[in-house]
Chain A
């Protein structure tokens, strides 16, 4: 278990209502469905069950089974169907219960949705949102615990969102629904129960491709995504106690990527650790690290470092699983070492 525990992220100034991470996604879906009758959501046990994580509880009561649609256990089938529906006047949300199942639907996402706009010379659009989960430490073993956001991030034509707070999740989900491109939206499963935060009562949308500085600092930058933002913030609090000022920057989307904000932070701090719960090899973390390396090379005191999931299939036993995910302690120790303090 990452030791991020129950974190409450500093809210935006105008935020007044505290909600959970899953509540934020549900509110975003409900608001977009009220606004636009062409938005529907389909997936396995999304209606009365409200998904296996209960995140969508109550939506079918408001919107009915014609818009919150239970499908067969048929990820390829309903995702492919959503691609076609998106091309022909709808804004469907395909609900992939576990991000691990993205591997089942990669043709529909990577060969179809991602490429249709380009292959048609810009004539067809595919405004689909693919909701997926990510994150380990739920004792779900190797096929229900992976963080596979690197996969869609690799494909031109897709946008990829990895929110870390309720505020971001809500505002970015609304942007994803309104985007005319296929967007893959990753929700960290641990955050459903562990992360709460303030959101405004009035409507807001966060544009895709704008990073957010979650905590300002001057000695070292943590570039952290999704679940790792909480871990980085925890490490930053520990570092403060030993006199190290850590900045935490959350890209919020892996594509489009706000390179400027990441680079400017590292130019200021001269040290950088990238934290991401995906695998480190050929990864999101590798790309973020290289972005900073290219953009802030002459300001760096040393190599950019990475803290990622251990390169093993996620094991079942808690004793084994817990060592596969980066912790606050690891981030704290590495930062101290890099700062020589």
Chain B
């Protein structure tokens, strides 16, 4: 048995068929959701900005599938994938993106601020690294209240430039808090390669605090799931935080509208990721190679989700805007 075959068998046994298919389905859901966001935005139906998660789906799905429903996440400006992976409902997501009353935040938050207590989503955050404190605080509360919950803080490698990350990592390790810092390294801080903005080695930073640190292939959903599971359960046991650096790529621009990208990243590089390292293609092929699914099964998953997402878009497009009188509600609890 080759090493690759053995690893595949191990993953199949450890993860199980049902979960392996679930990982695929969840990634497809995010991909289809984001394709519709792109469409809504380019048709001028969506106000504001849209930061697409396409290409990075394996990270949100791999991590969130390793969490319990009442565990916490914090998300980012590129947050649709995290929210969906943690259980958000697409119609309410789309409604929020379009600024509708039916949306998760009654139209007051929008794309960058989806929040949902029912799924443990403490909120997407439009300040880069703005939620590091919130996630660490949720982990602190979990430890204090002894409720066994773990908090995951998603952030991009751009957040490595923010001081708060290091203050929170220090506190998290000092107090052995159940928080997982998930760094989605897609190589680009907006329009700047991260190596132009990041001194030294990324992993060396959390390691300096004594935090368990692991750099993984963020395009391999099984690796993400298995690694995240290990560190999440470790955190749940009270053994402290972890830092996962997931190497990934965003296929689209920093936001929809960031079209002419050649000045900051080569087209060939984009093509290589899209054609060689696509997390959905790779996992789909793996499922077929390992006889977990055939093409028809995968197609059926996609078809079902296309219908769901189209219906979700229709719901949101037809949903009413909030009455302007609502503008002064919800400022204070």
- Chain B's nearest CB lies how many Å from the CB of A69? 9
Residues of A within 8 A of B109 (CB): 119-121
Of the candidates B104, B139, B168, the one whose C-beta lies within 8 Å of that of A77 is B168
A70-106: CB near B (< 8 Å → 1, else 0) gives: 0110101111111111111110100000000000000
- Chain B's nearest CB lies how many Å from the CB of A123? 5
Residues of B within 8 A of A220 (CB): none
A194 at the interface (CB under 8 A from B): no
- When the two chains form their complex, are residues A85 and B138 in contact, meaning their CB atoms are under 8 A apart? yes
- When the two chains form their complex, are residues A80 and B137 in contact, meaning their CB atoms are under 8 A apart? yes
| Beta-carbon nearest neighbor of B72 in chain A | A88
Residues of B within 8 A of A123 (CB): 104-105, 115-117
| Beta-carbon nearest neighbor of B133 in chain A | A80
- When the two chains form their complex, are residues B115 and A85 in contact, meaning their CB atoms are under 8 A apart? no
| Beta-carbon nearest neighbor of B115 in chain A | A120
Comparing B81-89, B192-200, B324-332, the segment that makes contact with chain A is B324-332
B333 at the interface (CB under 8 A from A): yes
Tell me the bound Cα distance from A80 to B145 in angstroms: 18
- When the two chains form their complex, are residues B105 and A81 in contact, meaning their CB atoms are under 8 A apart? no
- When the two chains form their complex, are residues B137 and A107 in contact, meaning their CB atoms are under 8 A apart? no
A112 at the interface (CB under 8 A from B): yes
- When the two chains form their complex, are residues B137 and A76 in contact, meaning their CB atoms are under 8 A apart? no
| Beta-carbon nearest neighbor of A158 in chain B | B332
B103 at the interface (CB under 8 A from A): yes
Interface residues on B, range: 35 or more
- When the two chains form their complex, are residues B168 and A81 in contact, meaning their CB atoms are under 8 A apart? yes
Q: Which of A50-69 contact B (CB under 8 A)?
A: 66
Residues of A within 8 A of B131 (CB): 112
Of the candidates B113, B135, B171, B331, the one whose C-beta lies within 8 Å of that of A78 is B171
- Chain A's nearest CB lies how many Å from the CB of B220? 30
- Chain A's nearest CB lies how many Å from the CB of B132? 7
Q: A111-B127, A121-B109, A123-B116 are in contact. Are A80 and B167 (CB under 8 A)?
A: yes
Of the candidates B105, B136, B163, the one whose C-beta lies within 8 Å of that of A121 is B105
- When the two chains form their complex, are residues B141 and A88 in contact, meaning their CB atoms are under 8 A apart? yes
Tell me the bound Cα distance from A113 to B151 in angstroms: 18
Residues of A within 8 A of B331 (CB): 117-118, 156-157
Residues of A within 8 A of B122 (CB): 84, 87-88, 124
Tell me the bound Cα distance from A271 to B108 in angstroms: 42
A116 at the interface (CB under 8 A from B): yes
Tell me the bound Cα distance from A72 to B168 in angstroms: 11
Q: A122-B329, A157-B332 are in contact. Are A107 and B145 (CB under 8 A)?
A: no
Residues of A within 8 A of B174 (CB): 72
- Chain B's nearest CB lies how many Å from the CB of A63? 13
Of the candidates B136, B145, B332, B333, the one whose C-beta lies within 8 Å of that of A84 is B136
- When the two chains form their complex, are residues B108 and A85 in contact, meaning their CB atoms are under 8 A apart? no
- Tell me the count of chain A residues lying within 8 A, CB to CB, of chain B: 42
- Chain A's nearest CB lies how many Å from the CB of B95? 11
Tell me the bound Cα distance from A67 to B164 in angstroms: 23
B255 at the interface (CB under 8 A from A): no
Residues of A within 8 A of B137 (CB): 80-88, 92
- When the two chains form their complex, are residues B108 and A121 in contact, meaning their CB atoms are under 8 A apart? yes
Residues of B within 8 A of A117 (CB): 330-333
Residues of A within 8 A of B133 (CB): 76-77, 79-84, 108, 112
Residues of A within 8 A of B142 (CB): 88
Residues of A within 8 A of B149 (CB): 88
Residues of A within 8 A of B333 (CB): 117, 122, 125, 127, 180-181
Of the candidates B105, B134, B147, B330, the one whose C-beta lies within 8 Å of that of A83 is B134
Tell me the bound Cα distance from A79 to B103 in angstroms: 30
Tell me the bound Cα distance from A247 to B330 in angstroms: 36
A331 at the interface (CB under 8 A from B): no
- When the two chains form their complex, are residues B140 and A85 in contact, meaning their CB atoms are under 8 A apart? yes
Q: Which of A118-147 contact B (CB under 8 A)?
A: 118-125, 127
Tell me the bound Cα distance from A116 to B105 in angstroms: 10
- Chain B's nearest CB lies how many Å from the CB of A161? 14
Tell me the bound Cα distance from A29 to B287 in angstroms: 58
Residues of B within 8 A of A120 (CB): 104-105, 108-109, 113, 115-116, 123
Tell me the bound Cα distance from A108 to B129 in angstroms: 11
B106 at the interface (CB under 8 A from A): yes
Q: Which of B256-296 contact A (CB under 8 A)?
A: none
- Chain B's nearest CB lies how many Å from the CB of A129? 14
A249 at the interface (CB under 8 A from B): no
Instruction: Name the residue among A77, A89, A116, A122 with the largest chain B CB count within 10 angstroms.
Output: A77
- When the two chains form their complex, are residues A111 and B130 in contact, meaning their CB atoms are under 8 A apart? yes
Residues of A within 8 A of B72 (CB): 88
- Chain A's nearest CB lies how many Å from the CB of B96? 8
Q: A81-B140, A84-B138, A181-B332 are in contact. Are A121 and B104 (CB under 8 A)?
A: yes
Of the candidates A40, A74, A82, A92, the one whose C-beta lies within 8 Å of that of B167 is A74
- When the two chains form their complex, are residues B145 and A89 in contact, meaning their CB atoms are under 8 A apart? yes
| Beta-carbon nearest neighbor of A72 in chain B | B170
| Beta-carbon nearest neighbor of B125 in chain A | A112
Residues of B within 8 A of A86 (CB): 137
- Chain A's nearest CB lies how many Å from the CB of B206? 15
| Beta-carbon nearest neighbor of B139 in chain A | A84
- When the two chains form their complex, are residues B134 and A80 in contact, meaning their CB atoms are under 8 A apart? yes
- Chain A's nearest CB lies how many Å from the CB of B149? 8
- When the two chains form their complex, are residues A76 and B329 in contact, meaning their CB atoms are under 8 A apart? no
Q: Which of A186-236 contact B (CB under 8 A)?
A: none
B93-123: CB near A (< 8 Å → 1, else 0) gives: 0000000000111111100010111000011
Residues of B within 8 A of A66 (CB): 144
Q: A72-B170, A78-B171, A88-B72 are in contact. Are A122 and B330 (CB under 8 A)?
A: yes
Q: Could you list 8 A-B pairs, sorted by A, with CB under 8 Å?
A: A38-B145, A78-B167, A81-B168, A81-B171, A117-B330, A122-B330, A127-B333, A157-B331
Task: Across the A-B interface, give the 8 residue pairs with the lowest CB-CB distance, nearest first.
Answer: A80-B133, A84-B137, A77-B167, A121-B105, A121-B106, A122-B330, A84-B134, A120-B115
Given contacts A119-B123, A120-B104, A121-B108, 9 further A-B contacts (CB under 8 A): A66-B144, A72-B170, A86-B137, A88-B122, A117-B330, A118-B330, A119-B108, A122-B329, A124-B122
